[in-house]
Amino acid sequence: MGREILMDLCKTPRSFTELKKITGMSDAGLSKALKKLVEDGYLTKVDRKYVSTGKGLTNLVYRKGIFLRYSGIPQEAIDEVANILSKYNDFMLWASRSDEEAQYLMKLYLLRIEEMDKKRTRLI
């Protein structure tokens, strides 16, 4: 699982149990990943919950009216992508070479839609 995903999940403080449920990772795998992220300064632990420090989420740019969050791609490539995408009005794009990460992000996306629907229902 990509560390960007865990850091994104931890924008909101989350317990180990919550992260395990959302990601489907094993105890050992999640524990190892979280420990490394804390050691590297990407996450911190507050009141038994993990929260992103923001250190790893800095690759967010605004180009040609589009927000792009990226990692592992040179800035010049991001500028080219922004030029191409600027021709379109409404879109959503996500790309990765990791099939496992793609499947996880789809699951996360669907969970977030469910959460938004629940909040909307409570407001009505």
**Are residues 36 and 73 located together in one domain of the fold?**
no
**Same domain (yes/no): 80, 48:** no
71: containing domain: 59-91
Tell me the mean pLDDT in the region 31-38. 94
Of 31 and 84, the structure prediction assigns the larger pLDDT to 31
Tell me the C-alpha to C-alpha distance, in Å, between residue 96 and each of 79, 101, 114: 18, 7, 24
Q: Output the pLDDT for position 1.
A: 54
Q: How far apart are CA 99 and CA 85, in angstroms?
A: 23
- Taking the whole predicted model, whether its pTM rises above 0.85 is answered as no
Q: Is the CB of residue 19 less than 8 Å from the CB of residue 5?
A: no
More confident site: 22 or 64? 22
- Cβ of 37: how many Cβ atoms within 10 Å? 21
32: domain CATH number is 1.10.10.10
> Distances in Å between the alpha carbon of 14 and those of 40, 70, 122?
18, 23, 22
pLDDT-based confidence at 99, cuts 50/70/90?
low
